[in-house]
Structure formats: structure tokens, C-alpha cells
């Protein structure tokens, strides 16, 4: 996720692109906050408690972790992949 943080920093100030992490499962908000603080991540983390795959993850078609998804402003999935592929994400974003 450090490369996601670098991309977040590179895109700072742009209002047409936002980066979020979606966490599902049993981890508490405090556990996620501590991890984010320890790693120095500045992009937001969303938490779906309880289920391994929560409603948002299911609605986006997430079947495994980590899954990376690029959505357009209307919520249409432009790209989805299990695992991080920075070159593909950059290409979809036109970077």
C-alpha cells in the first residue's frame, strides 16, 4: 500500500480523483487507525464491520483481497483487479 499512498500524494489537489481503502471483516476501527498511523497513510479507509465481504464490497464485485477498483464519478467500474497493478491503474486514470 505504500505505492497507493504515493499515488494519493501525486494526485493531491485534484478533485476528479479520490483514493479510498475499503476494509471488511472483524478488525475494529481502532486497529485500522493504528495501522494507518503506523504506516503514514493519508488516504481514507472505510470500514465494513462484521462480514468478510460487506455490502459495498459485494456491490462492487469484490471476491478476494486485495481488489483494486477504479470508478468513474457516476460509480461505473472502469477497472477491477485482484492485486495491485500500478501501471494498469495509471493507464485507466490517464496518468
For 57-81, write each residue's pLDDT tens digit. 778 788 777 788 888 888 888 888 8
User: What 3-state class would DSSP assign to 26?
Assistant: coil
User: What 3-state class would DSSP assign to 91?
Assistant: helix
pLDDT tens-digit map of 9-53: 998 888 888 888 877 766 678 888 898 999 999 988 887 766 566
Q: How many CB atoms lie within 10 A of CB 93?
A: 15
Domain of 8 in residue numbering reads as 2-93
**CA atoms of 74 and 55, how far apart (whole Å):** 18
Number of structural domains the chain divides into: 1
Q: Is the pLDDT confidence value at 94 over 70?
A: yes
Q: Rg of the chain's alpha carbons, rounded to an integer?
A: 13
Q: What is the CATH number of the domain that holds 89?
A: 3.40.30.10
Amino acid at each position: 500500500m505504500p505505492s497507493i499512498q504515493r499515488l494519493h500524494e501525486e494526485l493531491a489537489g485534484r478533485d476528479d480523483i479520490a483514493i479510498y481503502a475499503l476494509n471488511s471483516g472483524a478488525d475494529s476501527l481502532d486497529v485500522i487507525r493504528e495501522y494507518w498511523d503506523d504506516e503514514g497513510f493519508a488516504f481514507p479507509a472505510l470500514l465494513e464491520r462484521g462480514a468478510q465481504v460487506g455490502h459495498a464490497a459485494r456491490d462492487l464485485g469484490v471476491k478476494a483481497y486485495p481488489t483494486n477498483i477504479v470508478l468513474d464519478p457516476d460509480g461505473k467500474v472502469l477497472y477491477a483487479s485482484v492485486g495491485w497493478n500500478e501501471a494498469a491503474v495509471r493507464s485507466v486514470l490517464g496518468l
